[in-house]
Amino acid sequence: MTGAIDKLFAALLFAAALTASATSAGAECVVPSKPGGAMDLTCKLAQKAMPDTKLKLAYLPGGIGAVAWHTLVSQRRAEPDTLVAFSGGSLLNLAEGKFGKATAADVRWVAALGVDYGMVAVRADSPWHSLAELMAAIKRDPRQVLIGVSGTIGSQDWMKVALLAQRAGIEPRRLRFVALEGGGETFTAMSANYVQVISGDASEAVLYAGPGKVRVLAVLSERRLPGVLANVPTAREQGYDIVWPVIRGVWMGPDVPDADYRRWVDAFARVQATPGFTQMRLAAGLHPFSLTGDALTHWVKQAIIDYKIQASEFNLVREH
């Protein structure tokens, strides 16, 4: 307890010494996963969009984001220049109770930087060229198809495949999943043929897809995505009416002073209004979705309610 109080006191002293600008050399964006995935990409986008902040990246993987969440909430509550990346998967975990008694009100929601979409991919030398071929193979013998996902049962990567399987008449409990930590690790596992399929996000596929590397079978978006994945059909086009958007953004500790919180909210609002950010967001594989401050907070609370309803259909909600 004494150590936690000392850290909190030191953080408060540090906050008092900062100027009103967002240019502190101590500014940090925490990636709650291993390098290489979409959480990493989120912090790198923030870093690139606001070079004057001298934003440094720090990696704090574990528990599908739970380690970073509890570390900031319990030990680093008031740090005025520490951001933490989050995604729709983070909100799903909150809805399911995977962060214990944590709720959306435990942190301060700063900005949504864009929206990503789910996707399903296989190795470039895979025999499957469409969702129909993949689902047919799984239906014949689920034991022969290992599916790599970031997180465990109930994670958003798990949910995407479970929903597709339902549409194909396959009981999700028959699927064989391999739980991994972050999108980068799933692609590495598939490259080594440890898994034959991965459920992930389009922004991650933008980093890894290409001739002789990865074949993206479907994107879970309303329509085809621009850029590198422009030729990849949607799940809807292939007869699977599944759309899975993934918001990406950043939050801060609950005791961050209002002035510092508003400083970051305003900084993100300004940068997202510039044409240059539009190009940076697209290059990162993300698409327009910009909310900050109070508007984002309200959106997050409703999204968690919606996720909880969806997760309940799979009996995935833990009551505390």
Structure confidence by residue, pLDDT tens digits, 14-50: 333 332 234 345 899 999 998 888 899 999 999 999 9
| pLDDT of 160 | 95
The yes-or-no answer to whether 2-115+245-312 and 117-238 have a common fold is yes
* pLDDT band for position 135 (cuts 50, 70, 90): very high
Q: Yes or no: is domain 117-238 CATH 3.40.190.10? A: yes
- b/e sequence 44-63, b meaning 16+ C-beta within 10 Å: bbbbebbeebebeeebbbbb
CATH code: domain 2-115+245-312 is 3.40.190.150
pLDDT at 279 over 70: yes
The ranges assigned to domains in the chain are 2-115+245-312, 117-238
How far apart (Å, rounded) are the C-alpha atoms in residues 56 and 170? 45
Tokens at 225, concatenated? 């995505």
| pLDDT of 24 | 45
* pLDDT band for position 208 (cuts 50, 70, 90): confident
| pLDDT of 96 | 93
For residue 203, list its beta bridge partners.
Answer: none
Tokens at 144, concatenated? 């022969």
